[in-house]
Amino acid sequence: MATDVLKIKHLSIDFHTMEGEVHAIRDVTLKLHPGEILALVGESGSGKSVTTKAVMQLLPNNAKVVGGSVEYEGKDLLKMPEKELQELRGNELAEIFQDPMTALDPTMRVGKQIMEPLLKHQKLDRATARQRALTIMEKVGIVNAKQRFNNFPYQFSGGMRQRIVIAMALICHPKVLIADEPTTALDVTIQSQILALIKQLRDELKTAVIFITHDLGVVAGIADRVAVMYAGRILEFGTVEDIFYHPQHPYTVGLLKSTPTMDMNEGDLESIPGNPPNLINPPAGDPFANRNQHALTIDYQKMPPFFKVSDTHYAATWLLDERAPQVHLTEKLEQRRQHYADRLTKEGSANE
């Protein structure tokens, strides 16, 4: 396999608050392969967006990186001067933000906003930049691009505004694209179109994508690999088939059980009991222990290492230790397995 395009190694980030230091990201390690879509999933507050904000070096002022590195093409972005970072952002590294209305300047015409990265990073003349902007507008599905080039953001629907944000992110053909819950505020039909668009553009441009979401149903249709995040840590990672067919961490199983499908019967949907831990005083062991009905004594005492399930699949749970009792975590997932099998088969056929 080609060299990883991005490596996050043992990343730890604290937030200074009036209540104390919040240990928001704790020893996170991730790799992004060229041309793949890596889904970063977990509940709100698990640390997904903070992790990727460190990649873009867009952390808020009260955040501090206390350990680790973020390597892009052999250089640590955390140690890079701001001037060099500015050359990368919007050029080789790009992000699609969750809310397009906050990502777009309401006073600037959309065509000018899409052209801006080309003028700044690639120093193109305005005529060439305008043509490139029109091309990408058409590619992301904005009908009558020439007529709409001089419109303002408020003149577009939510789905069209998100397409404009995607056009801005992709205009310079970035090597790494971060999509931070880009479909959260959209209806199901538009959501499906945006997901298909991201996959299409990934295939055409060979861009590597980190796709952030709390919705495992979305992941089944777009990801190549999945990393499951909880309380500032990665608890499990593997291929999309590994995670959906053979989940190993109780938290991953809980997420799958709480994800609705179209063919579910009443009462099939389960919720995860309890609340995430307080990260001002994070637990010494598995952060999910207090919500895990199968927790062992050691889960409260020591953070488990990653146990190898297969060459592509690893999970940090003491239940995989050879000394642990046998627990059947996935006995109620058969219906969902079939649902995801159908979806993955459908997606695979569509890509052939």
- Mean pLDDT over 274-296 rounds to 95
Task: Supply 14's token pair.
Answer: 């604290």
CATH at residue 170: 3.40.50.300
**Band of pLDDT at residue 87, cut at 50, 70 and 90:** very high
Selection from 192, 175, 216, 288 nearest residue 40 by Cα: 216
Residue 1 covered by a domain: no
**Band of pLDDT at residue 18, cut at 50, 70 and 90:** very high
Q: Which domain holds residue 317?
A: 247-351
Say whether both 193 and 277 belong to one domain: no
- Mean pLDDT over 243-260 rounds to 90
Say whether both 174 and 71 belong to one domain: yes
Q: Taking 60 as the threshold, does the pLDDT of residue 351 lie above it?
A: no
Say whether both 201 and 93 belong to one domain: yes
Of the three residues 229, 263, 280, the one that is the final residue of a domain is 229
Residue 220 covered by a domain: yes
**Band of pLDDT at residue 183, cut at 50, 70 and 90:** confident
Q: Which residue reads 């999970």 in tokens? A: 315
| Residue 202: per-residue pLDDT | 87
Say whether both 314 and 344 belong to one domain: yes
Residue 239 covered by a domain: no
Number of structural domains the chain divides into: 2
Residue 234 covered by a domain: no
Say whether both 137 and 89 belong to one domain: yes
- Mean pLDDT over 289-309 rounds to 96
Window from 254-258, 275-279, 297-301 with minimum mean pLDDT: 254-258
Greater confidence, 189 or 337?
Answer: 189
| Residue 336: per-residue pLDDT | 62
* % of the chain surpassing 90 pLDDT: 68
Say whether both 180 and 268 belong to one domain: no
- Mean pLDDT over 266-286 rounds to 86
| Residue 153: per-residue pLDDT | 95
Q: What is the mean pLDDT of the chain?
A: 89
Q: Taking 70 as the threshold, does the pLDDT of residue 342 lie above it?
A: no
Residue 235 covered by a domain: no
Residue 241 covered by a domain: no
Is the distance from CB of 231 to CB of 279 less than 8 angstroms? yes
